[in-house]
Chains A and B, each alone.
Chain A
Amino acid sequence: MTHPQSEHWSDYIDGELPLAEARELETHLEVCGECRRLLNELRGVVARAGALEDRPPRADLWPRVSAQIGVSRRRFVFSMPELLAAGIALMLISGGGVAFLLRDEIGAPVAWIRPEPEPVVRTVATGGGYDAAIGQLQRELAKGRGSLDSSTTRVIEEKLALIDQAILDAERAVAADPGSEYLRAHLTRSRLTKLDLLRRATELTRTIS
Protein backbone atom coordinates (compact mmCIF):
# COMPACT_ATOMS: atom_id res chain seq x y z
CA MET A 1 0.00 0.00 0.00
CA THR A 2 1.38 3.40 -0.98
CA HIS A 3 0.69 6.05 1.60
CA PRO A 4 0.22 9.70 0.65
CA GLN A 5 3.30 11.86 0.42
CA SER A 6 4.07 13.86 3.51
CA GLU A 7 3.39 17.25 1.93
CA HIS A 8 -0.06 16.09 0.85
CA TRP A 9 -1.25 15.93 4.44
CA SER A 10 -0.48 19.56 5.01
CA ASP A 11 -2.22 20.67 1.84
CA TYR A 12 -5.16 18.40 2.50
CA ILE A 13 -5.70 19.68 6.03
CA ASP A 14 -5.37 23.23 4.78
CA GLY A 15 -7.91 22.52 2.03
CA GLU A 16 -5.30 23.36 -0.58
CA LEU A 17 -4.83 19.98 -2.18
CA PRO A 18 -6.10 19.90 -5.77
CA LEU A 19 -9.48 18.23 -6.00
CA ALA A 20 -8.30 15.17 -7.90
CA GLU A 21 -5.49 14.53 -5.47
CA ALA A 22 -7.80 15.13 -2.55
CA ARG A 23 -10.21 12.51 -3.90
CA GLU A 24 -7.32 10.10 -4.36
CA LEU A 25 -6.19 10.69 -0.80
CA GLU A 26 -9.74 10.20 0.48
CA THR A 27 -9.99 6.95 -1.42
CA HIS A 28 -6.82 5.83 0.30
CA LEU A 29 -8.23 6.91 3.65
CA GLU A 30 -11.21 4.65 3.10
CA VAL A 31 -8.96 1.61 3.20
CA CYS A 32 -6.09 2.71 5.40
CA GLY A 33 -6.90 2.91 9.08
CA GLU A 34 -3.39 4.03 9.91
CA CYS A 35 -3.70 7.10 7.72
CA ARG A 36 -7.19 7.85 9.00
CA ARG A 37 -5.89 7.74 12.51
CA LEU A 38 -2.96 9.91 11.58
CA LEU A 39 -5.20 12.46 9.92
CA ASN A 40 -7.52 12.60 12.92
CA GLU A 41 -4.63 13.09 15.26
CA LEU A 42 -3.07 15.76 13.09
CA ARG A 43 -6.33 17.63 12.94
CA GLY A 44 -6.69 17.35 16.67
CA VAL A 45 -3.24 18.71 17.36
CA VAL A 46 -3.61 21.53 14.86
CA ALA A 47 -7.04 22.43 16.20
CA ARG A 48 -5.72 22.40 19.71
CA ALA A 49 -2.80 24.59 18.81
CA GLY A 50 -5.07 26.95 16.94
CA ALA A 51 -7.48 27.17 19.85
CA LEU A 52 -4.85 28.27 22.30
CA GLU A 53 -5.05 31.82 23.52
CA ASP A 54 -2.27 34.31 23.15
CA ARG A 55 -1.06 34.39 26.68
CA PRO A 56 2.57 35.34 27.23
CA PRO A 57 4.73 32.26 26.95
CA ARG A 58 7.16 31.12 29.54
CA ALA A 59 10.06 31.83 27.28
CA ASP A 60 12.54 29.95 29.39
CA LEU A 61 10.70 26.67 29.12
CA TRP A 62 10.84 25.81 25.45
CA PRO A 63 14.57 25.15 25.09
CA ARG A 64 14.46 22.61 27.89
CA VAL A 65 11.29 21.01 26.64
CA SER A 66 12.45 20.82 23.06
CA ALA A 67 15.76 19.36 24.10
CA GLN A 68 14.04 16.74 26.20
CA ILE A 69 11.43 15.65 23.73
CA GLY A 70 13.59 16.03 20.67
CA VAL A 71 11.24 18.28 18.74
CA SER A 72 12.82 20.61 16.27
CA ARG A 73 11.39 24.12 16.13
CA ARG A 74 11.37 23.91 12.36
CA ARG A 75 9.25 20.85 11.86
CA PHE A 76 6.23 19.03 13.11
CA VAL A 77 6.61 15.28 13.12
CA PHE A 78 3.57 13.17 13.56
CA SER A 79 4.33 9.54 14.02
CA MET A 80 2.78 8.15 17.18
CA PRO A 81 5.76 8.94 19.38
CA GLU A 82 6.19 12.31 17.78
CA LEU A 83 2.51 12.95 18.15
CA LEU A 84 3.04 12.23 21.80
CA ALA A 85 5.90 14.71 21.76
CA ALA A 86 3.71 17.30 20.08
CA GLY A 87 1.12 16.68 22.74
CA ILE A 88 3.76 17.06 25.40
CA ALA A 89 4.82 20.37 23.93
CA LEU A 90 1.25 21.61 23.77
CA MET A 91 0.62 20.55 27.32
CA LEU A 92 3.82 21.72 28.90
CA ILE A 93 3.72 25.23 27.66
CA SER A 94 0.85 26.93 29.34
CA GLY A 95 -1.87 28.83 27.55
CA GLY A 96 -0.92 30.04 24.14
CA GLY A 97 2.76 29.77 24.68
CA VAL A 98 3.13 27.06 22.13
CA ALA A 99 1.10 28.99 19.60
CA PHE A 100 3.40 31.92 20.19
CA LEU A 101 6.57 29.92 20.07
CA LEU A 102 5.51 27.88 17.07
CA ARG A 103 3.62 30.65 15.33
CA ASP A 104 5.78 30.42 12.26
CA GLU A 105 5.16 26.71 11.98
CA ILE A 106 1.45 26.99 12.62
CA GLY A 107 0.94 29.88 10.31
CA ALA A 108 3.13 28.67 7.49
CA PRO A 109 2.70 25.57 5.34
CA VAL A 110 3.92 22.66 7.37
CA ALA A 111 5.80 19.68 6.06
CA TRP A 112 4.01 16.75 7.60
CA ILE A 113 6.44 13.92 7.93
CA ARG A 114 5.22 10.38 7.35
CA PRO A 115 5.51 8.16 10.36
CA GLU A 116 8.04 5.43 10.58
CA PRO A 117 5.86 2.60 11.77
CA GLU A 118 8.47 0.44 13.38
CA PRO A 119 9.75 2.62 16.24
CA VAL A 120 6.28 3.48 17.50
CA VAL A 121 5.89 0.96 20.27
CA ARG A 122 9.52 1.02 21.25
CA THR A 123 9.65 4.78 21.57
CA VAL A 124 6.38 5.05 23.40
CA ALA A 125 7.29 2.15 25.64
CA THR A 126 10.71 3.46 26.56
CA GLY A 127 9.43 7.01 26.42
CA GLY A 128 12.58 9.05 27.03
CA GLY A 129 10.93 12.34 26.17
CA TYR A 130 7.75 11.36 27.88
CA ASP A 131 9.50 10.37 31.08
CA ALA A 132 11.49 13.60 31.05
CA ALA A 133 8.34 15.65 30.55
CA ILE A 134 6.55 13.76 33.31
CA GLY A 135 9.53 14.25 35.58
CA GLN A 136 9.68 17.95 34.89
CA LEU A 137 6.01 18.45 35.60
CA GLN A 138 6.19 16.36 38.74
CA ARG A 139 9.06 18.46 40.01
CA GLU A 140 7.14 21.64 39.27
CA LEU A 141 4.09 20.22 40.98
CA ALA A 142 6.11 19.19 44.02
CA LYS A 143 7.44 22.72 44.31
CA GLY A 144 4.01 24.26 44.15
CA ARG A 145 1.99 21.68 46.02
CA GLY A 146 2.15 23.72 49.21
CA SER A 147 -0.32 26.11 47.64
CA LEU A 148 -2.89 23.34 47.19
CA ASP A 149 -4.93 22.17 50.12
CA SER A 150 -4.59 18.59 51.28
CA SER A 151 -7.94 17.53 49.82
CA THR A 152 -7.01 18.75 46.34
CA THR A 153 -3.58 17.16 46.58
CA ARG A 154 -5.15 13.86 47.61
CA VAL A 155 -7.62 13.95 44.71
CA ILE A 156 -4.88 14.66 42.19
CA GLU A 157 -2.67 11.90 43.56
CA GLU A 158 -5.54 9.42 43.52
CA LYS A 159 -6.42 10.25 39.94
CA LEU A 160 -2.80 10.09 38.83
CA ALA A 161 -2.71 6.61 40.33
CA LEU A 162 -5.87 5.77 38.41
CA ILE A 163 -4.28 6.93 35.18
CA ASP A 164 -1.08 5.04 35.98
CA GLN A 165 -3.16 1.88 36.30
CA ALA A 166 -4.76 2.61 32.94
CA ILE A 167 -1.32 3.11 31.41
CA LEU A 168 -0.16 -0.16 32.92
CA ASP A 169 -3.23 -1.93 31.52
CA ALA A 170 -2.53 -0.47 28.10
CA GLU A 171 1.17 -1.35 28.22
CA ARG A 172 0.33 -4.95 29.05
CA ALA A 173 -2.22 -5.04 26.26
CA VAL A 174 0.28 -3.66 23.76
CA ALA A 175 2.84 -6.22 24.92
CA ALA A 176 0.28 -8.95 24.31
CA ASP A 177 -0.81 -7.57 20.97
CA PRO A 178 1.87 -5.23 19.64
CA GLY A 179 0.30 -5.01 16.21
CA SER A 180 -2.90 -3.46 17.42
CA GLU A 181 -3.27 0.08 16.16
CA TYR A 182 -6.02 0.76 18.69
CA LEU A 183 -4.00 -0.44 21.67
CA ARG A 184 -0.98 1.62 20.69
CA ALA A 185 -3.11 4.70 20.23
CA HIS A 186 -4.86 4.00 23.52
CA LEU A 187 -1.53 3.74 25.31
CA THR A 188 -0.42 7.05 23.84
CA ARG A 189 -3.66 8.73 24.82
CA SER A 190 -3.48 7.34 28.33
CA ARG A 191 -0.04 8.82 28.69
CA LEU A 192 -1.21 12.14 27.31
CA THR A 193 -4.01 12.05 29.87
CA LYS A 194 -1.43 11.81 32.63
CA LEU A 195 0.55 14.66 31.14
CA ASP A 196 -2.59 16.72 30.85
CA LEU A 197 -3.53 16.19 34.49
CA LEU A 198 -0.01 17.01 35.65
CA ARG A 199 0.00 20.14 33.50
CA ARG A 200 -3.37 21.24 34.83
CA ALA A 201 -2.30 20.61 38.41
CA THR A 202 0.92 22.55 37.86
CA GLU A 203 -0.96 25.45 36.32
CA LEU A 204 -3.27 25.39 39.29
CA THR A 205 -0.41 25.86 41.72
CA ARG A 206 0.73 28.86 39.66
CA THR A 207 -2.76 30.33 39.56
CA ILE A 208 -3.24 30.01 43.30
CA SER A 209 0.17 31.33 44.23
Chain B
Amino acid sequence: MYLLTLPLLAALTGTDTTVTVGANGKLELRNHEGPVTVTVWNRQAVRVRAQHDDESRVSVEVSGGMVRISGRGRYGPEPIAYELTVPADMALEIYSQEGEVRVTGSKAAIEIQSIEGAIIVEGGRGSVRVNSVEGALQVRGASGRLSLATVDGDISGSDLEGDLEVTAVDGDVLLQGIRAANVEASTVDGDIIMSGEIRGDGRYRLSSHDGDVTLTVPSLDATVSISTFEGEFTSDFPVTVNTAGRKMTFTLGKGSARVELESFDGEVALRKGPGR
Protein backbone atom coordinates (compact mmCIF):
# COMPACT_ATOMS: atom_id res chain seq x y z
CA MET B 1 0.00 0.00 0.00
CA TYR B 2 2.66 2.50 1.04
CA LEU B 3 4.97 1.44 -1.75
CA LEU B 4 2.26 2.23 -4.28
CA THR B 5 1.07 5.47 -2.73
CA LEU B 6 4.34 7.20 -2.01
CA PRO B 7 5.61 7.36 -5.58
CA LEU B 8 2.26 8.81 -6.69
CA LEU B 9 2.41 11.50 -4.03
CA ALA B 10 5.95 12.26 -4.92
CA ALA B 11 4.95 12.75 -8.54
CA LEU B 12 2.33 15.33 -7.64
CA THR B 13 3.41 18.90 -7.49
CA GLY B 14 1.65 22.20 -7.60
CA THR B 15 1.47 25.75 -8.74
CA ASP B 16 0.82 28.59 -6.34
CA THR B 17 1.10 32.05 -7.78
CA THR B 18 -0.59 35.38 -7.21
CA VAL B 19 -0.91 38.13 -9.80
CA THR B 20 -2.17 41.68 -9.32
CA VAL B 21 -5.18 42.79 -11.34
CA GLY B 22 -7.19 45.98 -11.75
CA ALA B 23 -10.82 46.50 -10.90
CA ASN B 24 -13.53 44.88 -13.01
CA GLY B 25 -11.17 42.51 -14.73
CA LYS B 26 -11.92 39.21 -16.35
CA LEU B 27 -10.56 35.74 -15.76
CA GLU B 28 -10.60 32.99 -18.34
CA LEU B 29 -9.79 29.40 -17.42
CA ARG B 30 -9.67 26.35 -19.63
CA ASN B 31 -9.32 23.02 -17.91
CA HIS B 32 -9.30 19.58 -19.46
CA GLU B 33 -9.97 17.50 -16.38
CA GLY B 34 -10.18 18.13 -12.69
CA PRO B 35 -12.20 20.16 -10.23
CA VAL B 36 -12.26 23.94 -10.33
CA THR B 37 -13.06 25.96 -7.23
CA VAL B 38 -13.33 29.75 -7.29
CA THR B 39 -13.75 31.88 -4.18
CA VAL B 40 -13.43 35.61 -3.67
CA TRP B 41 -11.40 37.90 -1.45
CA ASN B 42 -10.96 41.62 -0.91
CA ARG B 43 -7.61 41.94 -2.69
CA GLN B 44 -7.17 43.18 -6.26
CA ALA B 45 -5.28 40.05 -7.10
CA VAL B 46 -5.80 36.53 -8.38
CA ARG B 47 -4.27 33.61 -6.58
CA VAL B 48 -3.91 30.45 -8.60
CA ARG B 49 -3.32 27.23 -6.79
CA ALA B 50 -3.22 24.13 -8.91
CA GLN B 51 -2.39 20.55 -8.21
CA HIS B 52 -0.95 18.52 -11.04
CA ASP B 53 1.80 16.09 -11.88
CA ASP B 54 5.35 17.33 -12.02
CA GLU B 55 5.47 17.29 -15.79
CA SER B 56 2.46 19.55 -16.23
CA ARG B 57 2.65 23.30 -16.39
CA VAL B 58 0.09 25.94 -15.56
CA SER B 59 0.20 29.15 -17.54
CA VAL B 60 -1.10 32.38 -16.01
CA GLU B 61 -1.12 35.25 -18.49
CA VAL B 62 -2.01 38.76 -17.41
CA SER B 63 -2.84 41.34 -20.01
CA GLY B 64 -4.58 44.53 -19.00
CA GLY B 65 -7.55 43.47 -16.96
CA MET B 66 -7.53 39.98 -18.38
CA VAL B 67 -6.13 36.90 -16.68
CA ARG B 68 -5.90 33.75 -18.78
CA ILE B 69 -5.18 30.43 -17.13
CA SER B 70 -4.54 27.14 -18.83
CA GLY B 71 -2.57 24.00 -18.15
CA ARG B 72 -0.84 21.38 -20.16
CA GLY B 73 0.96 18.11 -19.54
CA ARG B 74 4.13 17.06 -21.23
CA TYR B 75 2.34 15.03 -23.86
CA GLY B 76 -1.02 16.75 -23.87
CA PRO B 77 -3.86 17.55 -21.48
CA GLU B 78 -3.49 16.17 -17.96
CA PRO B 79 -5.74 16.39 -14.91
CA ILE B 80 -5.30 19.59 -12.95
CA ALA B 81 -7.22 20.61 -9.83
CA TYR B 82 -7.58 24.39 -9.54
CA GLU B 83 -8.33 26.57 -6.55
CA LEU B 84 -8.65 30.19 -7.56
CA THR B 85 -9.17 33.23 -5.39
CA VAL B 86 -10.32 36.32 -7.23
CA PRO B 87 -11.77 39.79 -6.60
CA ALA B 88 -15.55 39.61 -6.27
CA ASP B 89 -15.99 42.04 -9.17
CA MET B 90 -13.94 39.95 -11.59
CA ALA B 91 -15.90 38.45 -14.45
CA LEU B 92 -15.36 34.74 -14.86
CA GLU B 93 -15.30 32.60 -17.98
CA ILE B 94 -14.59 28.96 -17.24
CA TYR B 95 -14.47 26.06 -19.63
CA SER B 96 -14.12 22.61 -18.13
CA GLN B 97 -14.17 19.40 -20.05
CA GLU B 98 -14.51 17.10 -17.05
CA GLY B 99 -14.81 17.89 -13.39
CA GLU B 100 -16.93 19.80 -10.95
CA VAL B 101 -16.91 23.59 -11.17
CA ARG B 102 -17.80 25.55 -8.05
CA VAL B 103 -17.95 29.34 -7.79
CA THR B 104 -18.79 31.08 -4.53
CA GLY B 105 -19.26 34.74 -3.70
CA SER B 106 -18.94 36.34 -7.12
CA LYS B 107 -20.54 39.71 -7.76
CA ALA B 108 -19.72 39.78 -11.44
CA ALA B 109 -20.68 38.16 -14.72
CA ILE B 110 -20.14 34.43 -14.91
CA GLU B 111 -19.98 32.09 -17.86
CA ILE B 112 -19.30 28.43 -17.27
CA GLN B 113 -19.36 25.67 -19.81
CA SER B 114 -18.75 22.10 -18.81
CA ILE B 115 -19.05 18.87 -20.69
CA GLU B 116 -19.11 16.50 -17.76
CA GLY B 117 -19.45 17.47 -14.15
CA ALA B 118 -21.69 19.37 -11.81
CA ILE B 119 -21.66 23.16 -11.75
CA ILE B 120 -22.40 24.91 -8.48
CA VAL B 121 -22.63 28.70 -8.39
CA GLU B 122 -23.42 30.97 -5.49
CA GLY B 123 -23.59 34.60 -6.56
CA GLY B 124 -23.12 36.22 -9.92
CA ARG B 125 -24.45 39.49 -11.29
CA GLY B 126 -25.19 40.90 -14.70
CA SER B 127 -24.97 38.03 -17.10
CA VAL B 128 -24.78 34.54 -15.61
CA ARG B 129 -24.63 31.70 -18.12
CA VAL B 130 -24.13 28.16 -16.94
CA ASN B 131 -24.12 25.38 -19.47
CA SER B 132 -23.40 21.67 -19.12
CA VAL B 133 -23.82 18.60 -21.25
CA GLU B 134 -23.74 16.03 -18.50
CA GLY B 135 -24.07 17.27 -14.98
CA ALA B 136 -26.41 18.88 -12.53
CA LEU B 137 -26.55 22.65 -12.16
CA GLN B 138 -27.10 24.50 -8.91
CA VAL B 139 -27.28 28.27 -8.97
CA ARG B 140 -28.11 30.36 -5.95
CA GLY B 141 -28.24 34.08 -5.27
CA ALA B 142 -27.61 35.27 -8.82
CA SER B 143 -29.19 38.31 -10.41
CA GLY B 144 -29.38 39.75 -13.90
CA ARG B 145 -29.77 37.93 -17.17
CA LEU B 146 -29.56 34.31 -16.13
CA SER B 147 -29.29 31.35 -18.47
CA LEU B 148 -29.02 27.81 -17.13
CA ALA B 149 -28.87 24.88 -19.51
CA THR B 150 -27.99 21.23 -19.30
CA VAL B 151 -28.59 18.24 -21.50
CA ASP B 152 -28.50 15.47 -18.93
CA GLY B 153 -29.02 16.48 -15.33
CA ASP B 154 -31.25 18.37 -12.97
CA ILE B 155 -31.24 22.12 -12.64
CA SER B 156 -31.75 23.77 -9.30
CA GLY B 157 -32.01 27.52 -8.89
CA SER B 158 -32.82 29.48 -5.77
CA ASP B 159 -32.93 33.09 -4.73
CA LEU B 160 -32.67 34.34 -8.31
CA GLU B 161 -33.58 37.79 -9.65
CA GLY B 162 -33.78 39.23 -13.14
CA ASP B 163 -34.60 37.45 -16.37
CA LEU B 164 -34.30 33.70 -16.14
CA GLU B 165 -34.02 31.15 -18.92
CA VAL B 166 -33.73 27.51 -17.91
CA THR B 167 -33.38 24.70 -20.41
CA ALA B 168 -33.03 21.02 -19.66
CA VAL B 169 -33.42 18.06 -21.97
CA ASP B 170 -33.44 15.13 -19.57
CA GLY B 171 -33.79 16.43 -16.06
CA ASP B 172 -35.98 18.13 -13.53
CA VAL B 173 -36.05 21.88 -13.01
CA LEU B 174 -36.48 23.13 -9.46
CA LEU B 175 -36.71 26.89 -8.95
CA GLN B 176 -37.23 28.28 -5.47
CA GLY B 177 -37.47 31.79 -4.16
CA ILE B 178 -37.60 33.25 -7.65
CA ARG B 179 -38.05 37.01 -7.94
CA ALA B 180 -37.56 37.27 -11.66
CA ALA B 181 -39.50 39.52 -13.99
CA ASN B 182 -39.34 36.98 -16.78
CA VAL B 183 -38.97 33.24 -16.51
CA GLU B 184 -38.82 30.73 -19.31
CA ALA B 185 -38.17 27.18 -18.15
CA SER B 186 -38.45 24.06 -20.23
CA THR B 187 -37.50 20.41 -20.14
CA VAL B 188 -38.27 17.53 -22.43
CA ASP B 189 -38.29 14.79 -19.83
CA GLY B 190 -38.67 16.02 -16.28
CA ASP B 191 -40.75 17.94 -13.82
CA ILE B 192 -40.70 21.69 -13.41
CA ILE B 193 -41.36 23.08 -9.97
CA MET B 194 -41.20 26.79 -9.34
CA SER B 195 -42.01 28.89 -6.32
CA GLY B 196 -41.59 32.61 -6.00
CA GLU B 197 -43.16 35.95 -6.62
CA ILE B 198 -45.06 36.80 -9.77
CA ARG B 199 -44.51 40.41 -10.77
CA GLY B 200 -47.30 42.43 -12.28
CA ASP B 201 -45.35 43.18 -15.42
CA GLY B 202 -43.75 39.75 -15.58
CA ARG B 203 -44.04 36.90 -18.02
CA TYR B 204 -43.59 33.32 -16.97
CA ARG B 205 -43.64 30.19 -19.05
CA LEU B 206 -42.99 26.72 -17.66
CA SER B 207 -43.12 23.90 -20.17
CA SER B 208 -42.43 20.19 -20.01
CA HIS B 209 -43.03 17.53 -22.61
CA ASP B 210 -43.10 14.57 -20.25
CA GLY B 211 -43.31 15.73 -16.66
CA ASP B 212 -45.41 17.62 -14.18
CA VAL B 213 -45.43 21.39 -13.97
CA THR B 214 -46.11 23.04 -10.63
CA LEU B 215 -46.14 26.71 -9.78
CA THR B 216 -46.41 27.76 -6.14
CA VAL B 217 -47.08 31.40 -5.31
CA PRO B 218 -48.49 33.22 -2.28
CA SER B 219 -50.85 35.26 -4.43
CA LEU B 220 -51.46 35.80 -8.08
CA ASP B 221 -52.45 38.75 -10.24
CA ALA B 222 -52.14 37.26 -13.66
CA THR B 223 -53.68 36.06 -16.85
CA VAL B 224 -52.98 32.36 -16.77
CA SER B 225 -53.04 29.84 -19.57
CA ILE B 226 -52.80 26.12 -18.99
CA SER B 227 -52.05 23.75 -21.84
CA THR B 228 -51.84 20.00 -21.77
CA PHE B 229 -52.41 17.14 -24.16
CA GLU B 230 -52.89 14.20 -21.85
CA GLY B 231 -52.59 15.66 -18.38
CA GLU B 232 -54.84 17.33 -15.88
CA PHE B 233 -54.92 20.70 -14.19
CA THR B 234 -55.50 21.38 -10.51
CA SER B 235 -55.53 24.71 -8.72
CA ASP B 236 -55.53 25.87 -5.10
CA PHE B 237 -56.87 29.20 -6.34
CA PRO B 238 -60.56 29.46 -7.14
CA VAL B 239 -60.69 29.87 -10.89
CA THR B 240 -63.27 30.01 -13.61
CA VAL B 241 -61.73 28.37 -16.58
CA ASN B 242 -62.36 29.19 -20.21
CA THR B 243 -61.52 26.20 -22.30
CA ALA B 244 -60.56 26.36 -25.94
CA GLY B 245 -59.20 23.14 -27.32
CA ARG B 246 -56.24 22.02 -25.27
CA LYS B 247 -55.86 25.36 -23.60
CA MET B 248 -57.52 26.71 -20.49
CA THR B 249 -57.33 30.36 -19.58
CA PHE B 250 -58.41 32.33 -16.58
CA THR B 251 -57.68 35.60 -14.87
CA LEU B 252 -56.79 36.18 -11.26
CA GLY B 253 -56.83 39.70 -9.86
CA LYS B 254 -56.38 42.25 -12.60
CA GLY B 255 -54.60 39.77 -14.80
CA SER B 256 -51.44 41.85 -14.92
CA ALA B 257 -48.78 39.21 -15.31
CA ARG B 258 -48.75 36.51 -17.99
CA VAL B 259 -48.36 32.97 -16.79
CA GLU B 260 -48.23 29.99 -19.13
CA LEU B 261 -48.00 26.49 -17.74
CA GLU B 262 -47.70 23.65 -20.22
CA SER B 263 -47.21 19.94 -20.02
CA PHE B 264 -47.79 17.71 -22.99
CA ASP B 265 -47.96 14.55 -20.95
CA GLY B 266 -48.10 15.49 -17.30
CA GLU B 267 -50.04 17.22 -14.60
CA VAL B 268 -50.19 20.98 -14.27
CA ALA B 269 -50.75 22.40 -10.81
CA LEU B 270 -51.13 25.91 -9.47
CA ARG B 271 -50.45 25.93 -5.75
CA LYS B 272 -50.92 28.54 -3.11
CA GLY B 273 -48.01 28.70 -0.73
CA PRO B 274 -44.97 30.62 0.36
CA GLY B 275 -42.93 31.84 -2.55
CA ARG B 276 -39.72 30.57 -1.06
A interface residues (Cβ-Cβ under 8 A, vs B): 30, 33, 36, 40, 43-44, 51, 148, 151-152, 155-156, 158-159, 162-163, 166, 169-170, 173, 177, 179-183, 186, 189-190, 193, 196-197, 200-201, 204, 207-208
Contacts and interface: CB of A to CB of B under 8 A. Distances in A.
Given A159-B151, A190-B188, 15 more contacts: A148-B115, A151-B116, A152-B115, A158-B170, A162-B169, A163-B188, A166-B188, A173-B229, A177-B246, A182-B262, A183-B229, A186-B207, A201-B133, A204-B115, A204-B133
Contacts of B186: 189, 193
A169 B15 CA distance: 53
Contacts of A148: 115
Contact of B133 (A40, A51, A152): A152
Contacts of A180: 245-247
B47 interface: no
Given A179-B245, A183-B229, A159 B116 contact: no
A197 B210 CA distance: 18
A166 B184 CA distance: 19
Interface in B208-267: 209-210, 223, 225, 227, 229, 244-247, 249, 258, 260, 262, 264-265
Nearest to B30: A207
A52 B263 CA distance: 29
Interface of B: 95, 97, 113, 115-116, 131, 133-134, 145, 149, 151-152, 167, 169-170, 184, 186, 188-189, 203, 205, 207, 209-210, 223, 225, 227, 229, 244-247, 249, 258, 260, 262, 264-265
29 contacts: A33-B225, A33-B249, A36-B258, A44-B184, A156-B151, A159-B170, A159-B188, A162-B188, A162-B189, A166-B188, A166-B210, A166-B264, A170-B264, A173-B229, A177-B245, A177-B246, A180-B245, A180-B247, A181-B245, A182-B227, A182-B229, A182-B262, A186-B209, A186-B227, A193-B186, A193-B188, A200-B133, A201-B133, A204-B115
A166, A180, A182, A183 interface centre (most CB from chain B within 10 Å) = A182
B244 A152 contact: no
Nearest to B226: A182
Nearest to A192: B186
Given A40-B203, A173-B264, A193 B169 contact: yes
B152 A159 contact: yes
A98 B244 CA distance: 37
Given A189-B186, A193-B169, A169 B245 contact: no
B92 to A, nearest CB: 15
Given A166-B210, A181-B245, A189-B207, A197 B264 contact: no
Contacts of A177: 245-246
B229 A33 contact: no
Contacts of A207: 95, 113
Contact of B209 (A33, A43, A169, A200): A169
Closest 9 CB pairs of A and B: A182-B227, A166-B209, A182-B246, A159-B169, A180-B245, A180-B246, A155-B134, A182-B247, A155-B152
B169 A197 contact: yes
A87 to B, nearest CB: 13
Contacts of A152: 115-116, 133-134
B200 to A, nearest CB: 14
Contacts of B247: 33, 180-182
B133 A155 contact: yes
A183 B246 CA distance: 8
A182 B245 contact: yes
B116 A196 contact: no
B133 A156 contact: yes
B238 to A, nearest CB: 21
Contacts of A208: 97, 115
A41 to B, nearest CB: 11
B184, B205, B207, B209 interface centre (most CB from chain A within 10 Å) = B209
Contacts of A33: 225, 244, 247, 249
Contacts of B210: 166
A182 B247 CA distance: 7
A54 B188 CA distance: 30
B192 to A, nearest CB: 14
A43 B218 CA distance: 28
